[in-house]
Amino acid sequence: MMRTGTSRRPTRLLAGLMSGVGALTTPLRPADFVDLVDPLWSAAVPRGRVVEVRPETRRATTLRIRPGRGWAGHRAGQYVRVGVEVDGVRHWRSYSLTSPESSPDGCISITVQALPGGTVSPVLAHRTPIGAVLHLEPAAGDFILPDRPGRLLMLTGGSGITPVMAMLRTLAARDALDDVVLLHSAPSPAETIFDGDLRTLARRPGLRLVVRHSDTEGLLQLTELERVCPDWVDRESFVCGPAGLLDDTERHWAAAGLAGRMRQERFTTPRLGGGAGGTVHYGGAATRSAGAALGTEVAVDGATSLLEAGEAVGVPMPSGCRMGICFGCVLPLRAGQVRDLRTGRVHGEPGDLVQTCISGASGPARIDTTTQGDSR
Amino acid sequence: MTRTLPTPTANHASRVGESRGTDGSQAACTPAPSTPESELPEAVPAPAMRPVPSTPAPEAVGLTHEQIEEFGRRLDAIRDRILAERGASDADYIRGVIRNQRRLEVGGRALLFAGIFPPAWLAGTAMLSVAKILENMEIGHNVMHGQWDWMRDPKIHSTTWEWDLVSSAQDWKESHNYRHHTYTNVLGKDRDVGYGLLRITEEQRWSPYYLGNPVYNLLLSLLFQWGVALHDLEYEKVVSGEKTRSAFWTQLKRIGRKIRRQVTKDYLVFPALAGPFFLPVLLGNLTANAVRNVWSHAVIFCGHFPDGTVVFTEDQLEGETRGQWYLRQMLGSANLDGGPLFHLMTGQLSFQIEHHLFPDLPSNRYCEVAPEIRALCAEFGLPYTSGGLGRQYLQVLRKINRLALPGGSVRGPVPLAAGPIS
């Protein structure tokens, strides 16, 4: 996001003032009271308000978001983690930003394709009202344009177009859309995200657009690359799409000795657990000091709690009532899911604090034992 | 004096009087003796649930092991249903309470700056008192219980919440969530029985120190937040060697930092900001803290100490099943009757029974499950203690006054029928 020099100084002054005000608001922070007035004001917790909802296809929707003071801008191609409340529970998902760097009105956009049966994407795509406040994390990712882009080849499939769209828009806004070939696959014209926008951009001489409808024309084979884009070896390439496309291109470029000329963005879905029992990784400071930097892997059977399993191998675990009522044993889940031993419910997303005394394993998972005693 | 224990088949009518031991010889206020039941005749099978003999609740003894587990399963079913229903409306509830509490606090403090005018002082102090009560009870207590952790909002989470009291969240969670809620009303384990200051049950051995019982209670009431901080420190555990000096020192420093921040805010910075009107602001803040102290003390003491509530000994914890745990929570707690506003102001601790059965369910759901719990108790012939605040608090005060003296059989006639005592 663009910030002008004049708006920076009062911001800093305000920040100083706010820290003094902390003596008045303790144990809360001044920002907690500011949130009462405007949730976008907080500099510590980036949030954004949805200002426009634009359907792209039957399944995909673009959300234009006005970010609050805490938003520090993004590079074209990066993604943002978005926190959204579904049935009262906050979920975080990553979406590529589809807006250009430094858009004139300061807004950003993401384009969300609803996954059938998904928890979050259908809500974002189809049930987000204008005015909704979304939680944001700073933009991240190294799938970004080089500082001086030369000749480019973009190879995208489905919603993989999203980060590339931000790149194209950024180049167009800078009048730097000089020599780009975009090879995009989508099932059908109706399922093509940004169909109209892409065709508008392709009127510029600098962009050659090749859209392939896989429902009628079949999947793109990389052997066709020589024909469609004969100079592909001379181009810096950006690939984003389904896992098959990513794997194929990885091999193809490596075989040509050009692995360094290609960048990929891989969308990952959260690793889901299943069944009772699994291998749990306990990352702990104690084991690190003993020289084993990687922590401890424990095979946990279906009836054993993560607390008992950790204790059994000597991982220092916080604990309390050991029956799920005191919340004295919670630790952050870093990957995978856990199973509630009382109800059998499998749940969890990275970052969740789980009660280790009533949670068992459900497939592979990682528990962070290095943040014990985490308290203000 | 020889105690007689009710047998598992004791009927409800046999409860009055004779099962109480008033000699205090088996007193168990500090780590309980390991063989308090040595007088139990060998021939009598161990009852499924045994309250401390001197406390009348033999209804529980009338239940078989299987009935107690069935009682537990029925409670689990209620709990699972609420967990499955939990959703956006619950989240909206707590966010709404938090928003309004903060507005009340800002409004109250703003009015106090005009506190030189008596109506403004009164209104400001009242608003700040209400804000502090909500912050302490409906928000702080319940958030720190993890009732709202499921929302995954780091700002409303048991691991990050800190409350507007001199006691620190970390120490309080240990002494309250873990000790009090796991070992509810177990003598020598639950330090909320008397807060380490009072003689609140006749099983605590009398000493001349307890002649001051009513005075200690009055002081604890007025200075409750300080009492809670002191209570969290558990100094007697250092004396007994259960806690190291360094752990105690770390804790003392943490509470000291909290005290400094709290005192600075209410008694220095806000009054100073009012300039020449610092005195009304200081007095307003002092009053609001005192009102919150007296109110929360009253509600909490009415939750566990009115007539009809039961204490237990440590040996009863051994091999305690889920059903027995539920039953202990149930028998050790008492509800307060009132309307929705009253329940809100008690942080739903007027549903102390429901809170103790399900300490991590969202507080706004307690009023919904209360009639079901009451009906379930009636079905199993268990008492469900409930009454108005005035009546229950008078019972607590009467008990505290009586227990200043040795002995302690203070109760009036015990109702014979099982079921609601109200």
Identify the residue among B81, B156, B178 best suited for mutation to test binding to A, counting A beta carbons within 10 A and taking the highest.
Answer: B178
Inform me whether the pLDDT recorded for B3 exceeds 80: no
Q: Which residues of B touch A33 (CB under 8 A)?
A: 102, 106
Contact A32 B270 (CB under 8 A): no
Q: A88, A294, A326, A195: which is closest to B179 by C-alpha?
A: A326
Which residues of A lie inside 8 Å of B (Cβ-Cβ)?
A: 23-24, 26-28, 32-33, 36, 85, 87-91, 320-321, 323-328, 330, 342-343, 349, 352-353, 355, 373-376
Inform me whether the pLDDT recorded for B108 exceeds 70: yes
**What's the pLDDT score for residue B306?**
87
Residue of A28, A343, A353 lying closest to B80 (CB–CB): A343
**What's the pLDDT score for residue B321?**
87
Residue of B83, B89, B170 lying closest to A375 (CB–CB): B170
Q: Chain A: residue nearest B254 by CA?
A: A376
Higher pLDDT among residues B156 and B314, named by residue: B156
Q: A141, A223, A247, A241: which is closest to A182 by C-alpha?
A: A241
Q: How far is B13 from chain A (nearest CA, A)?
A: 35
Contact A321 B182 (CB under 8 A): yes
Q: Which CATH superfamily is domain A278-368 in?
A: Beta-grasp domain (3.10.20.30)
3-class SS at A267? coil
Contact B151 A23 (CB under 8 A): no
**What's the pLDDT score for residue B27?**
33
- Taking the C-alpha atoms of residue B226 and residue B262, their distance in angstroms, rounded to an integer, is 11
- Taking the C-alpha atoms of residue B331 and residue B383, their distance in angstroms, rounded to an integer, is 7
Q: Chain A: residue nearest B177 by CA?
A: A326
Q: What is the pLDDT of residues A350-370, one digit of tens each?
A: 888 999 999 999 999 999 988
From A100-109, B6-15, B159-168, the region with the lowest mean pLDDT:
B6-15
Q: What is the pLDDT of residues B204-228, one digit of tens each?
A: 889 999 999 999 999 999 999 999 9
Best mean pLDDT range from A128-137, B41-50, B234-243 = A128-137
Q: What is the pLDDT of residues B162-174, one digit of tens each?
A: 999 999 999 999 9
Contact A327 B87 (CB under 8 A): no
Q: How far is B269 from chain A (nearest CA, A)?
A: 7
Query: Residue B13 carries which DSSP code?
Result: G
Contact B102 A85 (CB under 8 A): no
Q: What is the pLDDT of residues A122-131, one digit of tens each?
A: 999 999 999 9
Contact A376 B162 (CB under 8 A): yes
Contact (Cβ atoms closer than 8 angstroms) between residue B49 and residue B227: no
Inform me whether the pLDDT recorded for A300 exceeds 50: yes
**What's the pLDDT score for residue B88?**
96
**What's the pLDDT score for residue B61?**
59
Tell me if A152-265 shares its fold with A278-368: no
> For chain B, what is the mean pLDDT?
83
Inform me whether the pLDDT recorded for B417 exceeds 80: no
Establish, for the pair of chains A and B, how many residue pairs have beta carbons separated by less than 8 Å.
103
Tokens of residue A312, six digits: 């059994």
Residue of B145, B152, B170 lying closest to A89 (CB–CB): B152
- Taking the C-alpha atoms of residue A350 and residue A348, their distance in angstroms, rounded to an integer, is 7
Q: What is the pLDDT of residues B221-249, one digit of tens each?
A: 999 999 999 888 888 888 888 888 898 99
Residue of B86, B164, B177 lying closest to A328 (CB–CB): B177
Q: Which residues of A touch B146 (CB under 8 A)?
A: 327, 330, 355
Angle between helical axes of B245-263 and B224-233 (0-180°, round to 10): 160
Contact B158 A85 (CB under 8 A): no
Q: Chain B: residue nearest A318 by CA?
A: B174
Inform me whether the pLDDT recorded for B38 exceeds 50: no
Stretch A137-150: mean pLDDT: 92
- Taking the C-alpha atoms of residue B27 and residue A359, their distance in angstroms, rounded to an integer, is 39
- Alpha helices in B209-331, H assignment, sequence order: 213-222, 224-233, 235-240, 245-263, 270-273, 278-304, 322-331
Q: What is the pLDDT of residues A184-202, one digit of tens each?
A: 999 999 999 999 999 999 9
**What's the pLDDT score for residue A130?**
97
Stretch A69-77: mean pLDDT: 94
Q: Chain B: residue nearest A327 by CA?
A: B146
3-class SS at A140? strand
Task: Report residue B32 CA to chain centroid gap.
Answer: 21
Q: What is the pLDDT of residues B331-387, one digit of tens each?
A: 889 999 999 999 999 999 999 999 999 999 999 999 999 999 999 999 998 889 999
Maximum C-alpha span of chain B: 78
Contact B178 A328 (CB under 8 A): yes
Contact B90 A33 (CB under 8 A): no
Q: Domain A152-265 has what CATH class? A: alpha beta
3-class SS at B193? coil
Percent of chain A past pLDDT 90, that is, above it, reads: 69
- Taking the C-alpha atoms of residue A184 and residue A156, their distance in angstroms, rounded to an integer, is 5
Q: Chain A: residue nearest B158 by CA?
A: A327
Identify the residue among B182, B264, B322, B355 best suited for mutation to test binding to A, counting A beta carbons within 10 A and taking the highest.
Answer: B182
Contact B155 A32 (CB under 8 A): yes
Residue B45 one-letter amino acid: P
How many C-beta neighbours within 10 Å does residue A165 have? 28
Q: Which residues contact B169 (CB under 8 A, 6 or more apart)?
A: A375, A376, B140, B144, B161, B162, B163
Inform me whether the pLDDT recorded for B416 exceeds 60: no
Identify the residue among A26, A82, A323, A329 best suited for mutation to test binding to B, counting B beta carbons within 10 A and taking the highest.
Answer: A26
Q: Is B346 left (phi over 0), alpha (psi -120 to 50) or beta?
A: alpha
Inform me whether the pLDDT recorded for B407 exceeds 90: no
Q: What is the pLDDT of residues B18-34, one digit of tens each?
A: 333 333 333 333 333 33
Contact A375 B169 (CB under 8 A): yes
**What's the pLDDT score for residue A225?**
92
Residue of A33, A90, A326 lying closest to B178 (CB–CB): A326
Contact A327 B146 (CB under 8 A): yes
Contact (Cβ atoms closer than 8 angstroms) between residue A42 and residue A68: yes
pTM: 0.85
**What's the pLDDT score for residue A65?**
98
Domain boundaries, chain A: 5-136, 152-265, 278-368
Contact (Cβ atoms closer than 8 angstroms) between residue B178 and residue B170: no
What is chain A's percent helix, strand, coil content, to nearest 5? 25, 30, 45
Provide the ipTM: 0.85
Contact A26 B261 (CB under 8 A): yes
Q: Which residues of B touch A324 (CB under 8 A)?
A: 360
Q: What is the pLDDT of residues A212-259, one digit of tens each?
A: 999 999 888 898 999 999 999 999 999 999 999 999 999 999 999 999
Contact A36 B155 (CB under 8 A): no
**What's the pLDDT score for residue B19?**
32
- Taking the C-alpha atoms of residue B139 and residue B97, their distance in angstroms, rounded to an integer, is 8
A5-136 carries CATH number 3.30.9.10: no
Q: Chain B: residue nearest A351 by CA?
A: B152
Contact B261 A375 (CB under 8 A): no
From A71-75, A107-111, A255-259, B3-7, the region with the lowest mean pLDDT:
B3-7
Q: Which residues of B touch A353 (CB under 8 A)?
A: 149, 157, 159
How many C-beta neighbours within 10 Å does residue B249 have? 11
- Taking the C-alpha atoms of residue B152 and residue A44, their distance in angstroms, rounded to an integer, is 18
Contact B149 A32 (CB under 8 A): no
**What's the pLDDT score for residue A270?**
58
For β-strands A278-283 and A359-368, DSSP reports them as parallel
**What's the pLDDT score for residue A183?**
97
